[in-house]
Amino acid sequence: MKKQLVVVKIGSSSLTNASGTISEGKIRDHVEALAHLKDLGHDVILISSGAVAAGFGSLGYPTRPKSTAGKQASAAVGQGLLMQNYIQLFKEFDRVPAQILLTREDFYSQTRFQNLFSTIHELLQRGVIPIINENDSVSIEELTFGDNDLLSALVSGFLHANALIILTDINGLYDGNPTVSKEVKKFHFIPEVSETLLSVAGDSGSSLGTGGMKSKLVAAKKALSLGVSVFVGTGTGKEKLVDILAGKGDGTYIGGPFQTQMQMRKQWIAYHSHVGGTIEIDEGAEKAILFHGKSLLPVGVTNVIGEFNALDVVIVKNQKGKTVGKGQIYYSSKDLLLVKGLPSEQSKCYSINKKAEVIHRDNWVTLPKE
């Protein structure tokens, strides 16, 4: 098997006991499998839940707290306990882990997005296993992020991973609840995540986690859109991750084994960037961009909506009001209003790079039809 970049996401219920404490047996099993995958020459990134679940018992909570303050306090205690266990166990396999705590803002900012990529790449070059978790102790919104499921999809996408493996306490996806009925059917392979499938997916089945099967399907849909195939299931033993990569995992495979992956910059534009405003273009410009691979020029712009700065990301719509795509723009809204509809030679002086393009084709992403 050729060298691959593999993102492994492990949920809270797969790391802890029912009481909320870390299960040494569970975490050791995961660490051994991750170290073995690394020994085989693969690059491995771990997305680890478990901070809140690991910490609430130490604070005297009888069960996982429901308040934001309780969750954040539990995460602050639990994250240290979680990393302490990982460091000690990986040391037995001569592996060094590194902790990275993220929030959604790390994906919204292009600078932070690129810095994160550089940091993780350097860690992998040094043979380190990055362990990523949401920064639950300071971030409110991320506590409902889906138990790191969506975060794992975003990380696997922007790193161009070959596979995203989501380990859970249920061996795959079913058309019903396998803990309630024995008549339900297991999905061994799903080519794509449909709206119908999402509508019948269940929520969390464990009091220790925040994500259920619906969360995992939403994450899988995002990963597929970023060019990464997904496995959702379970497993034990040293060879479990190797078996999953070989197509022998106990779970559900989603998408094909390999897909075309977007450039990192275009991923950021399409999925993570804040939108500054909207511009409308004429039919000629729409055809030039969509069918001839051209950049957008001022002459094709018919309207400017909202206030934005040069280098912001904007939505581009056609004259029928349909979204065509998104792009990083070289003009502020103020300057674009002055040059829209004009030939290129008359507009260069208003561009941030003194060039004619409103949006260069390298900074353009075509979006699916609405």
Least confident interval from 29-43, 177-191, 276-290, 328-342? 177-191
Band of residue 353 on the pLDDT scale cut at 50, 70, 90: low
- The rounded percent of the chain whose pLDDT value lies above 70 is 88
Band of residue 260 on the pLDDT scale cut at 50, 70, 90: low
Residue 50 and residue 12 in contact, taking contact as beta carbons nearer than 8 Å = yes
Distance separating alpha carbons of residues 115 and 129, to the nearest angstrom:
17
Q: For position 195, what pLDDT does the model report?
A: 84
Q: What is the mean pLDDT of the chain?
A: 86
CB atoms within 10 A of CB 305: 13
For the whole model, what pTM was predicted? 0.82
Q: For position 295, what pLDDT does the model report?
A: 95
Residue 84 and residue 99 in contact, taking contact as beta carbons nearer than 8 Å = no
- Give me the sheet containing 189-190, strands edge to edge: 97-102, 129-134, 43-48, 5-10, 163-167, 229-234, 250-254, 189-190
Token digits of residue 138: 């300071």
pLDDT digit string, tens, across residues 158-176: 888 999 999 998 899 887 7
Residue 140 has pLDDT above 60, yes or no: no
pLDDT digit string, tens, across residues 81-97: 999 999 999 999 999 99
pLDDT digit string, tens, across residues 13-61: 888 887 767 889 999 999 999 999 999 999 999 999 888 888 888 899 9
Instruction: Give the amino acid at 23.
Output: S
Token digits of residue 208: 């220790």
Of residues 191 and 261, more confidently modeled: 191
